[in-house]
Amino acid sequence: MEISESNLSDSEIRSPVEIRLKSDFEDNTIVIDTDNMIELIVKALSSKTRREILHYIQTDHQGMDVSNIADKVGMTEANISAQIKKLEEANLIECDYCSGQHGVRKISKIKYNQLIVKF
């Protein structure tokens, strides 16, 4: 018999999943155990581009602006902005705004340096 969501009860489908995001920078940990937040994080990490963005942001401890990330990844600033928004909604990065040569710059910083998934 094949197992699918349609032939399992809710209690059989739902296993206790917990995602911990941990930062050595501020010595803090956040536990995410709601289905909504788990889905946001998993979807954010499902994109190779977003994982690449996280890598570049993580290697620059002062944060990176959209232009620099776009140059490194080889995509438009508009596309990078959309990807950053998804990472920010998943609570994986934080963004600040500061003045730049041609207006306001959006600086993205890594929020957590560890992701621990417990089943």
Q: Hey, what amino acid is at 24?
A: D
pLDDT confidence tier of residue 2, bands split at 50, 70 and 90: very low
Beta carbons within 10 angstroms of residue 97's beta carbon: 11
Q: Helix, strand or coil for residue 20?
A: strand
For residue 44, what is the domain's CATH number? 1.10.10.10
pTM: 0.76
8-48 per-position pLDDT tens digit:
455 444 555 777 888 776 567 778 888 888 899 999 999 99
60-97 per-position pLDDT tens digit:
888 999 999 999 999 999 999 999 999 999 999 999 99
In our burial notation (b when 16+ CB lie closer than 10 A, e otherwise), range 30-68 reads: eebeeeebbebbeebbeeeebebbbebbeeeeebbbbeb
* Pair 95, 106: CB distance under 8 Å: yes
Q: Helix, strand or coil for residue 25?
A: coil
- Number of domains, the chain: 1
Residue 75: DSSP 8-state: S
Domain region containing 47: 5-118
